[in-house]
Amino acid sequence: MDLEISKSNFSQNKINRNHFFDFITGIFIVQIIIMHCFSFWGSYSWFELLNTISTIYLPWFFFKSGYYYKDQNISTTITSLSKKLLIPYLVWLLIGLCVYILINGNSFSAIQNLIEKDLATIFLCGFSQANGPIWFLLSLFTSSLLSHIILKAKYNSLLWILLLIIGYYLSSTNIVLILGLNNIFICSSFYILGVKSRIIKINKLKIKSIVIFILIFIYTFIFIISHSFVHLRKNELLYGSYFSFVILNSIGLITLLLFSEIFPNISLYPINFIGRHSMIYFCAHWPLIFIVEHSLRLMHLDLHAYRLLSIIFIFLLCTVLIKPIEKIAYITRAIKKNKHNPL
């Protein structure tokens, strides 16, 4: 059969690294870092258009983590996820807080106020001003844990649908869960999609190409008639339809997965390098933005004029930091024995 259920395909992926995954991950990390830099220093209209069209950059990481799902008992899962995500979350949070205090804390009372305010923000919504993107690690931890529990249930497909219903309900109400857990339901749905999608294999290239073409057509059609965007951290619908956003991104994720089977060895060194070391780029760039911005202010330079050079400099700094940081296993959340980089 051309379309069949197969677990051997996934086993092969575990042995042979899929460079397409690194390539896509690298592209999305670049997009995220540039987006964060532009939020400080001003953006370009073409980049705003790109972000409007491409909303898949965060769902991809949950999907990818689900694709590498391992069926383990809950205690082993909690231990593993804590080492890979929770401890790095706390470490990078502390690093960001130290940088934030050094730049903004000009007195003991100011430092105390910064710490209290940031801790309150973290407790209420899982977001830290000291290291903004770090919420993602906490969300990936909670959604991965919830997904592991659901996948062990007998009727997990029904629970998968229930996740989306709960997520939609929370997005349409004023209910706010602590630690930013409002997003756990939609994030878990993308994680479980990654788990479910890995068992489908299309053998013939011609059939696979036709399926990709159909998916792109459907994606374009939905994008035109019901383009939607959900702020994933807040689980907040900004415009369009909540379910259109989920369907649109799900189609996009499956399409990327099929492309990865056609072009598993695609490689553009700088992008794939960033994809392989995505954890460090993702966690380190926000504190570096603070440092670069503060340095430009001290030198009385125009932040807007030097934004492109600043972005390049931040990428270079992240690259330089890779080797020394990777020597500390808990910061990278991946010990040497672990070949998979969940980010």
Kindly report the CA angle at 62 between 56 and 63, in degrees rounded to 5? Answer: 75
At 126-140, the pLDDT tens digits run 778 888 898 999 999
C-beta of residue 146 within 8 angstroms of C-beta of residue 192 = no
- Beta bridge partners, 231, equal 236
Q: What is the pLDDT of residue 341?
A: 59
| Type of residue at 329 | A
C-beta of residue 237 within 8 angstroms of C-beta of residue 228 = yes
Classify residue 114: in a domain, yes or no.
yes
Classify residue 337: in a domain, yes or no.
no
Classify residue 98: in a domain, yes or no.
yes
Classify residue 340: in a domain, yes or no.
no
CA neighbor of 197 nearest in space, from 252, 133, 126, 120: 252
C-beta of residue 213 within 8 angstroms of C-beta of residue 273 = no
Contacts of 126 (CB under 8 A, 6+ apart): 135, 138, 139, 179, 180, 181, 233
Contacts of 294 (CB under 8 A, 6+ apart): 103
Domain that holds residue 301: 3-332
Query: Across all residues in the chain, what is the average pLDDT?
Result: 85
At 202-214, the pLDDT tens digits run 888 889 999 999 9
Instruction: Please give the helix or strand (H or E) that residue 61 lies within, else none.
Output: helix 59-67
Classify residue 90: in a domain, yes or no.
yes
Q: Is 50 exceeded by the pLDDT of residue 176?
A: yes
At 23-56, the pLDDT tens digits run 999 999 999 999 998 888 877 777 777 777 788 9
Q: What is the pLDDT of residue 16?
A: 63
Of 246 and 102, the one with more pLDDT: 246
Q: Mean per-residue pLDDT for 245-274?
A: 92
At 332-341, the pLDDT tens digits run 444 444 555 5
Count up the domains in the chain and report the number.
1
At 150-167, the pLDDT tens digits run 999 888 889 999 999 999
- Angle between helix 19-41 and helix 45-53 axes, rounded to 10 deg: 130
Classify residue 341: in a domain, yes or no.
no
C-beta of residue 232 within 8 angstroms of C-beta of residue 58 = yes
Q: Is 70 exceeded by the pLDDT of residue 223?
A: yes
Q: What is the pLDDT of residue 1?
A: 35
Q: Is 80 exceeded by the pLDDT of residue 269?
A: yes
Classify residue 338: in a domain, yes or no.
no
- The pTM is what? 0.87
Q: Mean per-residue pLDDT for 291-308?
A: 84
Classify residue 249: in a domain, yes or no.
yes
Q: Is 60 exceeded by the pLDDT of residue 330?
A: no
| Type of residue at 268 | L
C-beta of residue 62 within 8 angstroms of C-beta of residue 194 = yes
Q: Is 80 exceeded by the pLDDT of residue 22?
A: yes
Of 159 and 119, the one with more pLDDT: 159
For residues 179-192, one letter each, b for 16 or more C-beta atoms within 10 angstroms of the residue's C-beta and e for the rest, the string is bbbbbbbbbbbbbb
CA contacts within 13 A on the Cβ side of 35: 18
Q: What is the pLDDT of residue 7?
A: 43
Contacts of 34 (CB under 8 A, 6+ apart): 47, 311
